[in-house]
Structure 1
Amino acid sequence: MTIVKPGSVVFENVRKSFGSFTAIPDLSLTIEPGTLVTLLGPSGCGKTTTLRMLAGLEHPTSGRILIGGKDVTMLPANARDVSMVFQSYALFPHMTALDNVAYGLESSGLSRRQARAKADDGLKLVGLAGMGERLPAELSGGQQQRVAVARALVLEPQVLLLDEPLSNLDARLRRKVRTDIRELQQRLGFTAVYVTHDQDEALAVSDRIIVMKDGEISQSGTPRQLYEAPASPFIADFMGEANVVACEVVATEGEQTIVRVGGLEHRLQGRNAKPGAAKLAIRPGAITLDADNGTGIKGRVLHSAYLGDHIEYEVETDVGPLFIVDHAVDRGFSPDADVTLGLKNRGVALITA
């Protein structure tokens, strides 16, 4: 089985309204061929509406959508050369895995023999060789998900759409299946648009992440860019937990910026930051914790919780309460202990927006 040349995706000033409510005010984005791009955001941010418009299940109120350079704005779903993997898998329970995968091929005009041969190749592609005669109820959740992916891929779409594809799986199985999907996408080189609200999932599978809020793009970039250089407090807190605190930009020296937070001056990567008030996003694991001595941010432990390979602390400080993850489990600080906090080089980002 081969995948047709992967297609690009372009949204040009797309607006989508439902009556008096505007879900997508003005969306413009481009997805390069052969990349896996994730639409990420909280419930109600517009990511699923965006995917449904791309799939042809909804039509824009205004603007254009192009797939592979072709205007598909008002085309029906079956004329768009896309395939969709649904959150619920949508497998026919009375059909075998092989028949489920072959169904779309037969509907498109292939003979039963041709469709089943191609479906068998599709099952082999996703690691389910020899399981074609099993019913969905005889497969695990992860295997059912792979059947759904195979059913979409055998149609050889320009773009594969995945709508919360792992939400019905337990945590351990989600890790396994997301790895499978990413490996398959990289090996075959198809374009994929992936919708999820799970930050870890987005970080693990994506070439690029588009974080949405209120129907608009808050920030777009690689997983590393969004995690290490969030453009706003919303992004910092949404892309993995972060303590967002007030700070002062003291000066810039070459590639570094010096900031003051509490009683601590800290250097971090970044240039062209203007002196004055700003915000600092600090990951819980980027804070060091020591007995109350020396210079740093002074604090008092409010709560502590031992979780095996790390201890979680909530510490009251002059810059506000901070959540801290400390892997030094051989020592611990009890509630009401006075402590001094420092910052590591990684996991601290300046937010000037």
Structure 2
Amino acid sequence: MTDLKPGSVVFENIRKDFGAFTAIPDLSLTIEPGTLVTLLGPSGCGKTTTLRMLAGLEHPTAGRILIGGRDVTMVPAHERDVSMVFQSYALFPHMDARDNVAYGLESSGFKKQEARELAEDGLAQVGLAGMGHRLPAELSGGQQQRVAVARALVLNPQVLLLDEPLSNLDARLRRRVRTEIRELQQRLGLTAVYVTHDQDEALAVSDRIVVMKEGRIAQTGAPRTLYEQPASAFIADFMGEANVISCEVLELDGDHAVIDVGGLQHRLPSRQNGPGSAKLAVRPGAIVLNPESGSGIGGEILTAAYLGGHVEYEIETPVGNFFVIDHSVEHLLAPRTAVSLGFRNRGLALIDG
């Protein structure tokens, strides 16, 4: 396989209409070469439409798309220098793995023997050396997925596009294959745009995550930033579960604020909030359970579910119900047990209402 040449991607004020419906009102986004950026969001948020416009399978109603500095807004898909891994993998069932990988090369003008040699190199690149003779039906789901990636990579694209590439795999295989995709992307220095609705998947593979809502960018940033510093209740709840409750900002201390939640005071970054009423996002793992006599927010356990490595509790308090994940499984607390709640130093963020 020849050296890949990762390119940048720029969306400039993109709008996409489908008749009277505007799917993407105004999208501007820059993706740096050699990075993996995930478009994440619920169904109907516009992430797949955005990917299809980048692939050339849809054309924007307004705005420009640039790949490697070249304006490709109205360039046909086959001239864009991108390759796409589809959700269904789209492998030809009557062709073996090598011929599946070689197909695009032959269609691009490579002689058959050269295409097959490059295909063998591509399969080796994704860990399938010596398996080129197998038909798709003779491969596992993860191996089929890697054949689809190899077929995309041998075309030496500036940008690799992945549309829900793990959705056909079971949970355990998804974890393994997403690690393989990330390692391959980093090793080859690929520019990759990845679409998923799975938050764990996005956190595991991405350099940057773009969370979309109703065709707009709700927030973008590194995985840790989005998880630990969500900008809104939507982001907090979508990037893993969060308890969103009311609090009072008592005072500011430099870049930090002192807040009060049901009599419990806590210090955390102010995020430009001034004194007064505010909203607080609390991750389930950021809550500490103490005996009823302890200082904190008093409450009562409504439900308890043992899940092996942790226990999930729902706890009723005067400031609202909390969903809590507790990794202290030695002593399970039964429903109707009185407790008090405290907060850890991480996993809390003031957010926009």
Count of equivalent residues? 353
Residue 350 (structure 2) aligns with: 350
What stretches of structure 1 move > 4 A for 4+ residues in a row? Answer: none
3-state SS in 1 of match to 2:304 = strand
Alpha-carbon distance in 1 for matches of 2:348, 2:301: 21
Deviation at 1:271, TM superposition (A): 5.3
3-state SS in 1 of match to 2:345 = coil
What root-mean-square deviation, in Å, do the aligned CA atoms of Structure 1 and Structure 2 show? 1.0
Work out whether residues 254 and 271 of structure 1, in 8 Å CA contact, stay in contact via their aligned partners in 2.
Answer: no
Work out whether residues 233 and 352 of structure 2, in 8 Å CA contact, stay in contact via their aligned partners in 1.
Answer: no
What TM-score do the two structures reach when normalised by structure 1?
0.98
Residue 156 (structure 1) aligns with: 156
Alpha-carbon distance in 1 for matches of 2:16, 2:159: 21
Work out whether residues 16 and 23 of structure 1, in 8 Å CA contact, stay in contact via their aligned partners in 2.
Answer: yes
Deviation at 1:332, TM superposition (A): 2.2
Name whichever of 155-164 and 342-351 sits farther off.
342-351
Alpha-carbon distance in 2 for matches of 1:132, 1:237: 44
Alpha-carbon distance in 2 for matches of 1:244, 1:3: 48
Equivalent residue runs for 1:127-142 within 5 Å: 127-142=127-142
Deviation at 1:295, TM superposition (A): 2.2
The answer to whether the aligner puts 1:287 opposite 2:283 as a matched pair is: no
Deviation at 1:218, TM superposition (A): 0.1
Work out whether residues 4 and 188 of structure 2, in 8 Å CA contact, stay in contact via their aligned partners in 1.
Answer: no
Deviation at 1:108, TM superposition (A): 0.3
3-state SS in 1 of match to 2:273 = coil
3-state SS in 1 of match to 2:58 = coil
Matched residue type, 1:28: S
Equivalent residue runs for 1:1-353 within 5 Å: 1-270=1-270, 272-352=272-352
Deviation at 1:270, TM superposition (A): 4.0
Alpha-carbon distance in 2 for matches of 1:348, 1:220: 19
Matched residue type, 2:142: G
Work out whether residues 252 and 272 of structure 1, in 8 Å CA contact, stay in contact via their aligned partners in 2.
Answer: no
Matched residue type, 1:312: E
Q: What are structure 2's unaligned runs of at least 5 residues?
A: none
Matched residue type, 2:6: P
3-state SS in 2 of match to 1:186 = helix
Alpha-carbon distance in 1 for matches of 2:11, 2:44: 19
Alpha-carbon distance in 2 for matches of 1:271, 1:352: 10
What TM-score do the two structures reach when normalised by structure 2?
0.98
Deviation at 1:75, TM superposition (A): 1.0
Deviation at 1:256, TM superposition (A): 2.5
Work out whether residues 271 and 350 of structure 2, in 8 Å CA contact, stay in contact via their aligned partners in 1.
Answer: no
Q: Deviations over 1:216-272 (max 9, x none)?
A: 000000001000000000000000111011111111213432111112001123454
3-state SS in 1 of match to 2:320 = coil
